[in-house]
Homo-oligomer: A and B are copies of this chain.
């Protein structure tokens, strides 16, 4: 009985989590944040589009990242390298030979499964395990007929195969062949472009070690199955920074010092933009890639992904592996001559790497609240009763909010509307604003709460002077406290500016 109860509770929890996930996905679609791609043509799995508010939120997130990485530091440079690179880039990096996932096909219905995920359904974690280990585990289950097709239920499955995650194209090729000679890869990660432009960066900007190169851009992976909404998609965007340093300096353990500094810097970024500290933790990789010497992930506990901790950002020591491989495969010397120490060497690299959509999802997950606003009221019979009310509110850091200020006329009176439009127009020169005159004032407040607008200016009649022509004051409503302040109409700009300074 007790175990049955626990199982029921677990099932309830699973359902609750799935409900929350579906609720937020549906909310994000209906509010113009995230749309499934190509929906009118039946959809395209593993690809998403971002609507008006999604675009604005993502732009603010990317700007915040770039501001903290480039503008506020004097040791990191920006780069925008292309998606396409010479194909040898990915031979040198090891991706062509080794960037694979295990895959199992159903012999009966031909359904395809990503086998490490299948393993996870049996409670066996495949996280950061080798393909060989995963395939061995899968084979045990398959032979025991425990493994069944997710679609048709058949246990007649193929052995686990190796599937390349590299997306291939015929760019620049005159034929439709993807032969070795003609193939061009879409980058599976953006950092390859940083290694290839390391030399041009040095030759043009003359930075001294240590220095970093940061960039934001699209990457592509042929994921066998794409699940978990925008968390894992075939087309995605990354924000990566590679920090080049001299590991041979004698003044202390620079490698560990840089690593620790960057760990703190990136961790504090999330706190600075309002992520709940209790939903963040460090994960230390025990099993390292052969070139890595130390690797940590910042994990975020996504309420909407089963309330479980998942990788948000990686901070990894890569040593001189990347530069030495690209030196070797290109024949170009990528060593650095340090004027001070008179040493010539390949700099070591440490990286910070985060997916834009994962970060956006963490900010939304952290900000999305359903607040109970029910209160005791006296009904018509003079009895105390509870009036049910609630609101959805996105308590985003205001610097990330898609819309900074909404300007609303209290009602459809023409002079209110004209004044509101005038204020909207003036503020729009500086901030992303919205003017809204449709529906009741309460509904319009809720609409702005839902998209996370921190300030709402309302123009009402209380503010007119005795001539009934001039407006003297407006109210400004705060999203989080829902309290309103009445301010002089002439001080709107300085009031809003003070909030964003």
Chain A residues proximal to chain B, CB less than 8 Å:
29-32, 35, 37-52, 54-56, 58-59, 66, 70-72, 74, 77-86, 88-89, 103, 112, 163, 167-174, 176-178, 186, 193, 196-197, 199-201, 203-205, 215, 218, 220, 222, 224, 234-235, 326, 329-330, 332, 334, 424, 428-429, 431-435
Are A82 and B235 in contact, with the CB atoms below 8 A?
yes
Are B218 and A44 in contact, with the CB atoms below 8 A?
no
Given contacts A78-B56, A205-B52, contact A170 B168 (CB under 8 A): yes
Are B171 and A84 in contact, with the CB atoms below 8 A?
no
CB nearest to A66 among chain B residues: B59
Given contacts A44-B85, A46-B172, contact A200 B39 (CB under 8 A): yes
Are A47 and B201 in contact, with the CB atoms below 8 A?
no
Pick the 7 closest A-B CB pairs, nearest first. Answer: A41-B86, A38-B86, A32-B204, A49-B81, A55-B78, A50-B80, A40-B330
Are A200 and B35 in contact, with the CB atoms below 8 A?
yes
Interface centre among A46, A51, A178 (most CB of B within 10 A): A51
Are A32 and B84 in contact, with the CB atoms below 8 A?
no
CB nearest to A91 among chain B residues: B41
Q: How far is the CA of A240 from the CA of B235 in the complex (A)?
A: 21
Shortest C-beta distance, A472 to chain B (Å), equals 25
Among candidates B84, B199, B204, residue contacting A40 with C-beta atoms closer than 8 Å:
B199
Q: How far is the CA of A42 from the CA of B331 in the complex (A)?
A: 10
Which residues of the other chain, B, contact A32 by a CB distance below 8 angstroms? 77, 200-201, 204-205
Are A40 and B79 in contact, with the CB atoms below 8 A?
no
Given contacts A51-B205, A167-B171, contact A432 B200 (CB under 8 A): no
Are B51 and A204 in contact, with the CB atoms below 8 A?
yes
Number of copies of this kind of chain in the complex: 2
Which residues of the other chain, B, contact A55 by a CB distance below 8 angstroms? 78-80, 215
Given contacts A78-B55, A205-B32, contact A172 B44 (CB under 8 A): yes
Q: How far is the CA of A203 from the CA of B31 in the complex (A)?
A: 9
Are B82 and A37 in contact, with the CB atoms below 8 A?
yes
Among candidates B29, B66, B163, B171, residue contacting A234 with C-beta atoms closer than 8 Å:
B171
Shortest C-beta distance, A449 to chain B (Å), equals 16
Which residues of the other chain, B, contact A83 by a CB distance below 8 angstroms? 218, 235
Are B41 and A220 in contact, with the CB atoms below 8 A?
no
Are B47 and A200 in contact, with the CB atoms below 8 A?
no
Interface centre among A40, A58, A173, A218 (most CB of B within 10 A): A40
Are A204 and B29 in contact, with the CB atoms below 8 A?
yes
CB nearest to A429 among chain B residues: B72
Q: How far is the CA of A433 from the CA of B58 in the complex (A)?
A: 24
Are B84 and A204 in contact, with the CB atoms below 8 A?
no
Supply 20 further A-B pairs (C-beta < 8 A) apart from A50-B79, A52-B79: A32-B77, A32-B200, A37-B82, A38-B89, A38-B196, A40-B199, A40-B326, A40-B334, A41-B89, A41-B330, A47-B82, A49-B80, A55-B80, A72-B429, A112-B174, A167-B171, A169-B169, A171-B220, A172-B234, A177-B178
Which residues of the other chain, B, contact A429 by a CB distance below 8 angstroms? 72
Shortest C-beta distance, A23 to chain B (Å), equals 16
Shortest C-beta distance, A401 to chain B (Å), equals 14
Shortest C-beta distance, A228 to chain B (Å), equals 17
Q: How far is the CA of A52 from the CA of B103 in the complex (A)?
A: 41
Q: How far is the CA of A47 from the CA of B82 in the complex (A)?
A: 7
Are A35 and B74 in contact, with the CB atoms below 8 A?
no
Selected A-B contacts with CB under 8 Å, 9 pairs = A39-B196, A44-B85, A46-B172, A84-B234, A163-B174, A168-B170, A169-B169, A170-B178, A178-B178
Shortest C-beta distance, A77 to chain B (Å), equals 4
Which residues of the other chain, B, contact A178 by a CB distance below 8 angstroms? 170, 176-178
Shortest C-beta distance, A50 to chain B (Å), equals 4
Are A167 and B169 in contact, with the CB atoms below 8 A?
yes
Are A85 and B38 in contact, with the CB atoms below 8 A?
yes
